[in-house]
Amino acid sequence: MPEKEASARASAFRPGGIQSAIEQLTVLIQDLYREDQIPWVVGYSGGKDSTATLQLVWNAIVALPAHERTKPVHVISTDTLVENPVVALWVEQSLQAMDKMIEACDLPFHTHRLSPEVQDRFWVNLIGKGYPAPRPKFRWCTSRLKISPSNRFITDVIRQNGEAILVLGTRKAESAARHASMKRHQKSTRDFLSKNSDPSLDRTWVFTPIAEWSNDDVWEYLVQVANPWGYDNDALFDMYRGATKDKECPLVVDTGTPSCGDSRFGCFVCTLVDKDKSMEAMLQNDAEKQWMAPLVRIRNDYLDTNDRHHRDFRRMNGSLMVHNDRLVHGPYKQEYRETLLREVLRAQEELRRIGPPAVCDFQLLTLEDLEEIRRVWVMEKHEIEDRLPSIYEEVTNSPYPGLERESLLPFTPDELALLQDVCASQDDPDGLLYQLIRELLHIEYQHRTLARRNGLYEALESAFQRGSFANEAEAEDFARFRDRSLHTEVLDIPFGLSHDHRTGT
């Protein structure tokens, strides 16, 4: 259902009123909770819908006699590590408030702050591996940052208990896509629960207590019903209002007036939308939030999807792909990945300097992230200059706190600079000859201690294939010829073995 239709949606609280609706939902939640021993997993993002959902569940279970509060309710919140920092702090502090209340009242709730594995994190993939900024046809971020962490947790719950019930704050009024997704869940073998449509979580049930609520129903409930873990719903309302243009955030709206529900919080790096309107509205509406400006600068100045000129003409595995008679470019080049690292570290330093005390230790890149990026650059991309520590020290004016690696590298910076100069003198304007020789030397070095040196020749052949073109134009001509020939005859030409001006073959 489109948003403008959602704003006109009839309230789920009519005709009996909010009190009657809440009482009915409370009884339903309690009955479902007591029906079996299947643990619950409640998704909590800190936004209005998940807050309303968790409040309903929390209040209903707290109202039960202590001897009936027997099965666990896991509250999971996924931190993508590139969240709007205001929202990230809100979630972190609200989970801490929950933990205090859980301990004080001996409640069956358990909070979990989830995050992606280091190899799945945004900056590791963007800066380390060179994945281009996400776009509709290459949306590599969602599964790594959001889905995988929660699915790992849910899978572990299922492994221990056989089944799980997911309690989600999704609503039919949110959007056409979410409405369609919820309709797929409505064919259920149990009343009020639906089977999860994700085949990897086939032993989970889905419960959506506020599915029929409108945006205004959610706000009416949050404003009228006190937060049970001692947090401030008025502050939540103010956060949404601050993220809405001109702070327009009415509780009762007509069909032409947007409500607070139109403010969407998410990853500040998201390139699947034109602009992060919520963060820009926060900066516009609140001078005290100007410390987030460095994050907006990264998003707007360095994560442009019109980035072909920053990307290698070869795919991640070195292959060539042609679309519309042009090469499809692959990962970011080394130079641009180093630029991205430098700018992210610079933004981190600036944010710590001008931000409030709560973000004085804010990290865009943890040491774990930096070490993984460094490993990918050196060990997988053969960028044996090992530039990350020097970039870190250049930006932060402090020693790099990671591992010493000098003994693991085959050449000194001066020797590599000499090699680069020699290659440049051999007509190598794009540095492709230097990259090839550097990779060959590093592959040989990596295999030096192996008795049988398994995989050496395959790795060398792969390097030769990847580096067999003098420039992008030559590679594109070959790829076009190859693709045209495949439509007429089978070529006995392995990938990459075109005429090479370096060898004369």
pLDDT tier for residue 264 given thresholds of 50, 70 and 90: low
Q: Could you tell me the maximum CA-CA distance found in the chain, to the nearest angstrom?
A: 86
Tens digits of residue pLDDT in 77-135:
999 999 989 889 999 999 999 999 999 999 999 999 999 999 999 999 999 999 999 99
CA atoms within 13 A on the CB side of 335: 8
- φ, ψ (nearest 5 deg) of residue 33: -65, -40
> To which H or E segment does residue 487 belong?
none
Asked if 168 and 207 touch (Cβ cutoff 8 Å), the reply is: yes
**CA atoms of 390 and 396, how far apart (whole Å):** 10
pLDDT at 173: 58
Spatial CA neighbour of 205 closest among 337, 366, 40: 40
Nearest to 52 by CA among 257, 272, 260: 260
Rounded (10°) angle between helices 18-34 and 48-62: 70
Q: What is the mean pLDDT of residues 21-29?
A: 95
State the pLDDT at residue 175. Answer: 43
Q: Can you say whether residue 192 is alpha, beta or left, with left for phi > 0 and alpha for psi between -120 and 50 degrees?
A: left
Q: Is the pLDDT of residue 368 over 90?
A: yes
Domain ranges of the chain: 3-247, 262-302, 308-406, 414-467
- Tell me the average pLDDT of the chain: 86
- pLDDT, position 257: 36
As a whole number, mean pLDDT of residues 306-333 equals: 95
pLDDT digits (tens, 9 = 90+) for 122-177: 999 999 999 999 998 899 999 999 999 999 999 999 999 999 999 999 987 554 44
Place of tokens 């979630």: 91
- Give tens-digit pLDDT for 443-500: 999 888 777 777 899 999 999 999 999 999 999 999 999 888 876 654 444 444 444 4
Mean pLDDT of 186-192: 54
Residue 440, number of CB atoms within 10 A of its CB? 16
pTM score: 0.86
145 φ, ψ to 5°? -85, -35
What is the pLDDT, as a whole number, of residue 26? 96
pLDDT at 15: 81
> Is 272's pLDDT higher than 90?
no
Whole-angstrom distance, CA of residue 485 vs CA of residue 478: 10
Class of domain 3-247: alpha beta
